[in-house]
Amino acid sequence: MALLPILRYPDPRLHTQAKPVEAVDAGVRRLVADMAETMYAAPGIGLAATQVNVHRRVLVLDVSEDKTRLMAFINPEIVWRAGECVGEEGCLSVPGIYETVQRSERVKVRALNPAGEPFEIEADGLLAVCLQHEIDHLDGKVFVEYLSRLKLARIKARLAKQARITA
C-alpha cells in the first residue's frame, strides 16, 4: 500500500470531472487500498480519487467511531434524495477551514463494490453528508464553493497566508 499526496484547494486539478471506471480490476482495487490508507493516515472520514489527482469515479469513507467500517464506492450515483439538513464540514483539501453547508438529509446511492458488484445504500446523518461531499469532489466541486463570494474570498486569503507560513 502507499500514502498518496492530497491536492490542496485552490489547486485547479480539484475542478476536474472524474470519468467512470470502465472495469473494476486489480488497478482499481489497489487505488481503493491506497486511498483507504491515505484517508486513515490523514485522518479523515472520506476521500475522493480527485483529491489524490486520479480522475476516476472512486471514493472511500469510514464514518464509524472505531474506524473499522471501510466502505468503497465505484461509479457512485445518487438515485434518490430527501429532506434538507445543515452541518459543519471540513475537507482534507481545505485544511483548517470548517463551514456550514446545506445538504440533502437522506440519499440513496447506487455504486459498484471492489468486486465489481452493484449495491445500493440508503444513508442519513454523517454518512449521507459525507457521500454528497465525496461525490461533489468527483464532479470537481469543493464544499467551500457553496459559500458566499465574500466568505470564499476570506477563505482564499487565509489559505494563501497559511501557505506562505508553511512554505
Any catalytic annotation for residue 145?
no
Q: Which of the stretches 28-36, 67-75, 126-134, 148-156 binds ligand GNR when contact is defined by CB under 6 A? A: 126-134
The distance of closest approach from Cβ of residue 158 to ligand GNR in the complex, given in angstroms and rounded to an integer, is: 17
The residue annotated as part of the active site, out of 88, 99, 105, 134, is 134
Q: Which of the stretches 9-17, 42-50, 77-85, 107-115 binds ligand GNR when contact is defined by CB under 6 A? A: 42-50
User: Does residue 92 interact with ligand GNR by CB under 6 A?
Assistant: yes
The distance of closest approach from Cβ of residue 125 to ligand GNR in the complex, given in angstroms and rounded to an integer, is: 11
Element (H, E) at 23: none
- Identify which of 87, 5, 95 has the alpha carbon closest to the alpha carbon of residue 50: 5
Residue 38's binding partner among ligand GNR, Ni ion, none (Cβ under 5 to 8 angstroms by kind) is none
C-alpha cell read off for 69: 467500517
Those residues whose C-beta lies under 8 Å from the C-beta of residue 107, and which sit 6 or more positions away, are: 78, 80, 81, 82, 122, 123, 128, 131, 132
Cα 123 to Cα 34: distance, rounded to the nearest angstrom? 25
CA dihedral 120, 137, 3, 161 (to 10 degrees): -150
User: Does residue 61 interact with Ni ion by CB under 5 A?
Assistant: no
Q: What share of the chain is helix, strand, coil (3-state, %, to 5)?
A: 35, 25, 35
User: Does residue 7 interact with Ni ion by CB under 5 A?
Assistant: no
C-alpha cell read off for 102: 446545506
The distance of closest approach from Cβ of residue 19 to ligand GNR in the complex, given in angstroms and rounded to an integer, is: 18
User: Does residue 91 interact with Ni ion by CB under 5 A?
Assistant: yes
For residue 42, the SS3 value is: coil
The distance of closest approach from Cβ of residue 136 to ligand GNR in the complex, given in angstroms and rounded to an integer, is: 8
Please give the residues from 51 up to 80 whose contact with ligand GNR meets the rule CB under 6 A: 51
Positions in the binding site for ligand GNR (CB under 6 A):
44-48, 51, 89-93, 129-130, 133-134, 137
Q: Which residues are catalytic?
A: 134
